[in-house]
Structure 1
């Protein structure tokens, strides 16, 4: 299905440029509100956002759209994406909206939608919204006496903090642990440090001074060097890096070394398997997770089910097959016993509790396997082109895959947000994988923009 507005994770783009304009945001509110306005009760939608300057504009436009079709709006203010998903369920809302472009720079923004169950909308429902946006929405407007009402609540952050803390047993305390948390000047700049402090940790917070422009700028999970320096400077036990909307997390150990999502999934999977908490003997991850993770889990009798890139697809597969642990190498960790989407804070708390329980350094607890050498290169192509359909490209992919054989793998996929082909290869032999990736990139180079 070709989609005009929605990508792999909602609608995203440069703020005040198509498709992230007030006009489209209002139509999204009208269309989504129309679809989820069913039954005879008062309908409500909760709207959260990160700290981007453009969040004010998009928030107001969405609010107008929802109100115009008779939905009440509850404004949460700056709030992590997983908090919006949680509050959509706990407040019995018909719909949840997060205004964020996640780890992108401040100039971008996006719109993510959640159903009443707290899960991201399916491709089919997003398709229905697109169809309505393209239609005449005037007949969908509510009568004058049926317009929605809007209100802002101030206690939303406190609700989320209590929710996050309740994912741990009462006996868990981080007393004696020095924790650096990097909130990326984003949505969790208040909630994350407060939750860690209330659990007993000595908290050193960075990336907690948002100004509308500095979200993800040289801080957060996409720029972990600042966190590594602060961990080293303060001799902390661990560093926690969230992204702009706090749905992903990466860690830094006491030596300043980065720990990615694959390692974190291995930690949780093994711990939960030992405690009998895995609903099935395995986890769900995407095609981008390292082959080393798959081999490591296999050595423990655990399987790895792969999905396309995107935490939404991981979540859908988890629900379909009954797994309760999944995620992405980038740090989206989904623990469905607690959350319906990636939750950086909750995942970090789980790992911290394991470190505390084992009473060992983070560098030992969170280094579960040796990843295979992995090479990722991007090739930009001309918009409207179909480079993967060219015969010479297909031959290069076939030849490279054959050379890697069972010693590695090759993943080629188009980006969901820009005209770029991503070529990823991994193998035990770094020279072999470098050659395989370069051969495919060379074949694709004729399509470069």
Structure 2
């Protein structure tokens, strides 16, 4: 079954433009409600969280109308991190969880992500079935079975208490000065509170959301803000989250950024040494650096690669019984603790490594030597297919031939934005640059 609405992470787009309209949100809510209702009773519930975008109010109300029209009872969490929705869906015995967020995208965008009753994101097949219901005629509930909506005031508090349990009880963080950049997003309350309650001296950044400033020169996609704060305050560590807090970048005491690959390498090494790494493998995507693969192989561990998208990482983890995975972009998935990427919990595990090893962040963030990697994005207009043109295919084939035996090339469409992502790895910096620039030029000419 083909999908047009859903991308690699739910439904996403610019607010008040298709598919991110109130009308479509209402239909999606009704379709999801119809999909998850097991019978004609009125005991079904859905939890809805959101980040801090202005359009979240509109989409929250529309989803609620659609869901209650098909008999679902709606529990509104307000602004909470995406992983909190996964956790609370299970904790509150809900049939469905929904997060309204466009993650790291600018404030004008928004998105809708769905979680099943187990707290995990829905499969492609489930999303395709919901999309098919949207396209058809959605049967509403009988008047006496219309659902109710209720605001849950302590959703953030429940997540805060759970997040603290994932930090080792034997470790202490008193004396550590930590910058936490919440990207003016969903974790602006939860993350500083968790760190403070665990004993850190907290320097908060990006904790004044106004509906328009989410991810605006702050957060994991703009770590310079956290880096500057680390240096200005003499902090021991920086934790930089994205708009919905399912991604993280770690900054050492010198303000240097460590991406998801370095964080996963640290966790994989430590967990393997402690006998906690299940399956002897780490699951990551095709974007992860070749240096990570070599690092793991040198320790008798495997790197299992998936296509891009944390949901595909999680699917492979569940299939293979693995408990650690993620993406170079900062999604760190630890299924011992969470059902999806959790930037705050990853930050806590990094802090645990600091506390237990006595090493500064700068030593822990340099686990392996990266193979030079270059990624460039090319924006294209709706309806265009630049990768299908004859000249672009020819340039790509020539580039693959030049890199054969020396590196690798990956070209793909973004699942969340109208972008072509061109990535290559190669020890030869000049060849790397020429290869990527040549493909980018060809794609731009065709776009």
**TM-score scaled by structure 2?**
0.97
Partner residue of 2:6? 6
In the TM superposition, 1:202-221 aligns within 5 A as 202-221=201-220
Q: 1:442 offset after TM fit, Å?
A: 3.6
Which residue in the other structure is 2:416 paired with? 417
Distance 1:384 1:127 in 2: 21
Using the TM superposition, name which of 337-346 and 432-441 deviates more.
Answer: 432-441
Could you report, residue by residue, the CA deviation over 1:167-223 in whole angstroms, capped at 9, with x for unpaired residues? 122212211111010111111011101101111111111111111111111111111
Equivalent residue, structure 2, for 1:35: 35
Superposed CA deviations along residues 47-106 of structure 1, whole A, max 9, x for unmatched, are 000111111111111001111110000000100000000000111100000001111111
CA distance in 2, matches of 1:386, 1:20: 23
Structure 1 counterpart of 2:182 = 183
Which residue in the other structure is 1:103 paired with?
A: 104
Answer yes or no: is the 8 Å Cα contact 2:42–2:71 preserved in 1.
Answer: no
Displacement after TM superposition at 1:399 (Å) = 2.6
Residue 136 (structure 1) shift: 1.7
Moved over 4 A (4+): none
SS in 2 for 1:369: coil
Equivalent residue runs for 1:98-137 within 5 Å:
98-137=99-138
2-side partners of 1:274 and 1:406: how far apart?
33
Contact 2:2 2:128 in 1 (8 A): no
- Note the C-alpha offset of 1:381: 4.0
Instruction: Give the secondary structure class of the aligned counterpart of 2:405.
Output: helix
Q: Distance in 2 between matches of 1:258 and 1:221?
A: 10
Question: Residues of 2 paired with 1:68 and 1:419: CA distance?
Answer: 33
* 2:439 counterpart SS class: helix
Looking at structure 1, the residues matched to 262 and 249 of structure 2 have their Cα atoms a distance apart, in angstroms, of 10
SS of residue matched to 2:279: coil
- Tell me the CA shift for residue 337 of structure 1: 0.7
Counterparts of residues 128-167 of structure 1 (less than 5 Å): 128-137=129-138, 140-167=139-166
> Which one is further off, 415-424 or 338-347?
415-424
Distance across 1 between alignment mates of 2:239 and 2:444? 38
Distance 2:295 2:405 in 1: 16
SS of residue matched to 2:171: coil
Contact residue 380 and residue 447 of structure 1 kept, 8 A: no
Instruction: Report if aligned partners of 1:76, 1:152 keep a CA contact under 8 Å in 2.
Output: yes
Deviation at 1:41, TM superposition (A): 6.3
- Which residue pairs with 2:342 in the alignment? 343
Q: Is the 8 A contact 2:107 2:213 kept in 1?
A: yes
CA 1:363/1:167 → structure 2, altered by over 3 Å: closer, same or farther?
same
Structure 2 SS opposite 1:342: coil
C-alpha contact 2:220 2:240 (8 A) present in aligned 1 = yes
Residues in 1 aligned to 2:15 and 2:143: alpha-carbon distance in whole angstroms: 31
Cα displacement string for residues 2-44 of structure 1 (whole angstroms, at most 9, x for unaligned residues): 4221111111111111111111111111000000000456000
1:364 aligns with 2:363: yes
Count of residue pairs brought into register by the alignment? 446
Distance 2:330 2:93 in 1: 29
Kindly state the Cα deviation for residue 414 of structure 1 after the two structures are TM-superposed: 1.5
Q: Which residue of 2 aligns with 1:397?
A: 396
- Mark the runs of 5 or more structure 1 residues left unpaired by the alignment: none
Query: Which whole-Å CA distance do the structure 2 matches of 1:428 and 1:97 have between them?
Result: 43
State the Cα RMSD in Å.
Answer: 1.4
Determine the C-alpha separation between the residues in 2 that align with 1:421 and 1:241: 26
Residues 97 and 382 from structure 1, CA distance in 2 versus in 1: closer, same or farther, beyond 3 angstroms?
closer
Alpha-carbon displacement from aligned partner over 1:256-301 (angstroms, at most 9, x marks no partner) = 1011110000010001001000011110111111111111111111
**CA–CA distance in 2 between the matches of 1:185 and 1:197?**
18
Q: Distance in 2 between matches of 1:316 and 1:332?
A: 14
Q: Which residue of 2 aligns with 1:54?
A: 55
Does structure 1 retain, via aligned residues, the 8 Å contact 2:42–2:72? no
Does 1:25 find its partner at 2:25? yes
- Partner Cα distance (1:393, 1:332) in 2: 31
Measure, in 2, the Cα distance between the counterparts of 1:243 and 1:370: 26
Tell me how far 1:444 sits from its aligned partner. Answer: 2.9
**Corresponding residue number in structure 2 for 1:68:** 69
Q: How does 1:238-317 map to 2 (within 5 A)?
A: 238-317=237-316
Q: Is the 8 A contact 2:42 2:147 kept in 1?
A: no
